[in-house]
């Protein structure tokens, strides 16, 4: 992820921290399993001082995270994909 994309994602998370939802699409550490949540769940932060410290999420860092826009009838946000996992961070419309 470029510095610009990272700042964009950080700003999105900071501005929407209390209303942010997470949906894990795949997790290479656990494999793609049917036990992964099929719906969005509220985001839990490991450290409230660091908005990128989201529980159940792993950022690769060093420009290895890829960011794309996400929108469905209920949510709007971003898909983050890296070597470890893919997930959606979104807010309700």
Domain spans, the chain: 3-92
- Residue 3 has a CB neighbour count (10 Å cut-off) of 8
Question: What is the 8-class DSSP label of residue 45?
Answer: B
pLDDT tens-digit readout, 21-43: 999 887 776 555 545 556 899 99
Whole-model pTM: value is 0.84
- Residue 12 has a CB neighbour count (10 Å cut-off) of 19
Q: What's the gap between Cα 33 and its chain centre?
A: 18
Mean pLDDT, residues 62-91 taken together: 91
CB of 85 closer than 8 Å to CB of 93: no
CB of 79 closer than 8 Å to CB of 21: no
What does pLDDT average to over the chain?
Answer: 84
At 12 the three-state DSSP class reads helix
């Amino acid at each position: 992820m470029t510095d610009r994309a990272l700042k964009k994602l950080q700003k999105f998370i900071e501005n929407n921290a209390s209303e942010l939802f997470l949906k894990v699409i795949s997790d290479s550490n656990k494999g793609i399993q049917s036990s992964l949540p099929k719906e969005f769940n509220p985001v839990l932060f490991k450290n409230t001082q660091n908005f990128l410290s989201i529980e159940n999420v792993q950022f690769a860092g060093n420009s290895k995270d890829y960011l794309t826009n996400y929108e469905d009838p209920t949510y709007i946000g971003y898909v983050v994909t890296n070597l470890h996992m893919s997930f959606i961070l979104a807010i309700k419309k």
